[in-house]
Amino acid sequence: MPNNVLAIFKIYPEDDQVDLEDLKNRLREALPKGNVYIYRIIEEEIAFGIKALKVFVIMPPFFEGGTQPLEEAFSKVKGVSQVDVEFVQTLPG
């Protein structure tokens, strides 16, 4: 059976007034149903006090649509300006 996949998303808030803790909760709630879960979320300084969120998602190897459904779900979250996929890799067994 193939191993799970790690996908790292970089989530940019709309502005520096967005409550990042609240945004983290909304991102968790936005995940599609299935064997997909957020492993970790870290804050990353961008510039001038603005921070992005790096969201580490564990998903099954044959998740329908790949990362696209996750990108779309995260993009619809209130307070999100942009979503980038930074990294995708199969986890070691």
pLDDT tens string 6-35: 999 999 999 989 999 999 999 999 998 878
Give yes or no for residue 47 having a pLDDT over 90: no
The pLDDT assigned to 32 comes to 84
Phi/psi-derived region of residue 79, left when phi > 0, alpha when psi is between -120 and 50, beta in every other case = left
Q: Which residues pair with 83 in a beta bridge?
A: 11
The pair phi, psi for residue 64, each rounded to 5°, is -60, 125
**Domains of the chain (ranges, CATH numbers):** 5-90 (3.30.70.60)
Instruction: Choose among 63, 10, 3: nearest CA to 33.
Output: 63
Q: Which residue has the tokens 């190897």?
A: 61
End-to-end CA separation in angstroms for the chain: 10
- pTM of the full structure: 0.93
